[in-house]
Amino acid sequence: MHYTEIESDDELSALIASNSVIEQVAFQNRDLSAIPRDGSVRFNDCIFMGCVIPEDLYQGYCTECHIFPQMDVPFNMFPAQLYSSADLYNGYDVGNPGSYKNCLDSQVYSHYIKMGKEAGSIKETLARRLHDHSITDALYGFLESYESTRIVAIMGGHSLLRNDPMFTTVARLSKRLTESGYLMISGGGPGAMEATHVGAWFADQDEKEMLSAIALLSKAPSYKDVRWLDAAFEVQSLYPCSDFESVGIPTWLYGHEPPTPFATKTAKYFANSVREDGLLAIAKGGVIFSPGSAGTIQEIFQDATQNHYLSFGIASPMVFLDSHYWTVERPVYPLLKSMDDEGKYQNMILSLHDTEEDVIAEIERFTQSN
C-alpha cells in the first residue's frame, strides 16, 4: 500500500478541503486541532507521526489509524525535511565558540552520550530508529529531483587540513562537477568532506573567490581549532551560497566531529551503519576516494561489496585520487585490482588518477554510458 505523505500545513489544508474521507495518508509533525469534529472529515488507515491530534477526533472519526507520538527526547523523532546548518547550529554565537553547547547538534550529541551509544532504554533506541527512518524518508524525497547517476560522493579523511593542497583539489573537483549538473554528497564532517561542500558552495562563482575563501578557512585549519566554525561562518557571510545544493550525511556516533556548515542539506543519523550503507547506496554516479585512513578504507570495501552484488541495481565507478597514496602508502588499489582480475570481485569499475581532469572524465564517461 502506498501512503501519501503530508509534511506541511498547506498540504494539510488542501487535503482537508477536498476530501471528506481521508485514507492511507501519513501525517508528519502536523497540528490537527483545527479539524472539525462534526463528522465532516473522517480518517481511515492513516498514520500520524509526532502530530497533535485531539483525543475526541481520534476516538470519534478515525478507524484503523496509527499514532506514533513524539517522546520526551531533545530531538524531533519525525523530521519531515533534511536539516540545514541553521537548524543544527541555531544558538551559535559567532565569536563565542563556547556557545556551540547551545546548538541542537551539541545538545543531541550530549544526550546521545548520556544515554549511551548503545542505549539500554527501549524508549531511547526506538526514538533514534524512528528519527533515522524519517531522515531516510526525507533524504530520498529530496533526491527525487536528481537523476540517480548524477549523484556523486567524495570520501576522504576527516583530519585533512584546510591548508593542505588536497583540500583545494577536492574543492575544485566538487565545484566543477556541481557546475556540470552533479549533486555532490559526502559524510558531512570536516576534512575532505568539508572540502566537497566548499566546492559545491562556490559553483558558478569565480575560482579566485573560492581560493580566497579557503585561505580564510585555513586560519583555523583543523576541526579541533576553536575558531573552526567561526571561520566557516565568516566565509559564508562574505560569499553567500549560490543556487546549488549539496548533501552531507554525518552521524552522532562521531559527534565530536562537527558537521560542515557548507552542506546546504544535512541528513544526520544516530545509526552509523545505516548512514554508511545509505550514503554509498545513493552515490550511483560514482564514489571518488581521496586519501583517508580507517573510515575511508572501510567505505572502499563496503562500496566494492555493493558493486559486486549489484545490491542497488547498478555498479558505479570507484575512482581513486592520488596514485601514490593508494598504491604505496595505503596499497588498497592493487588489492582490489588483483581481486577483480581474478574474478573474486565482479562488476568493478576501478580507476586510479592524479588529476582533476582525469577524475572528472571518468565520472562523465560513466554518466554518458548510462
pLDDT at 263: 98
For the segment 231-259, the average pLDDT, to the nearest whole number, is: 95
User: What pLDDT digit, counting tens, does each position of 102-145 carry?
Assistant: 999 999 999 999 999 999 999 999 999 999 999 999 999 999 99
pLDDT tens for 12-40 read 999 999 989 999 999 999 999 999 889 99
For 268-292, b/e burial (b = at least 16 CB within 10 A) is: bbbbbebbbbbbbebbbbbbbbbbb
Cα–Cα distance, 155 to 209 (Å, whole number) = 24
Quote the crossing angle between the two packed helices 192-201 and 165-179, to the nearest 10°: 40
- Per the structure block, which three cell numbers stand in for 38? 462534526
Residue 242: predicted pLDDT: 79
Q: Are 255 and 292 in contact (CB under 8 A)?
A: no
Cell 527526547, residue located: 73
Predicted TM-score (pTM) of this structure: 0.96
pLDDT of residue 241: 80
Cβ pair 162, 220 in contact under 8 A: yes
Residue 217 has a pLDDT of 98
Domains and CATH numbers, the chain: 4-68 (no CATH), 135-369 (3.40.50.450)
26: β partners: 5, 47
Question: Tens of pLDDT along 169-211?
Answer: 999 999 999 999 999 999 999 999 999 999 999 999 999 999 9
Radius of gyration, CA atoms only, the chain: 22
Residue 1 in this model has a pLDDT that exceeds 90: no
In tens, the pLDDT along 292-302 reads: 999 999 999 99
pLDDT on residue 195: 98
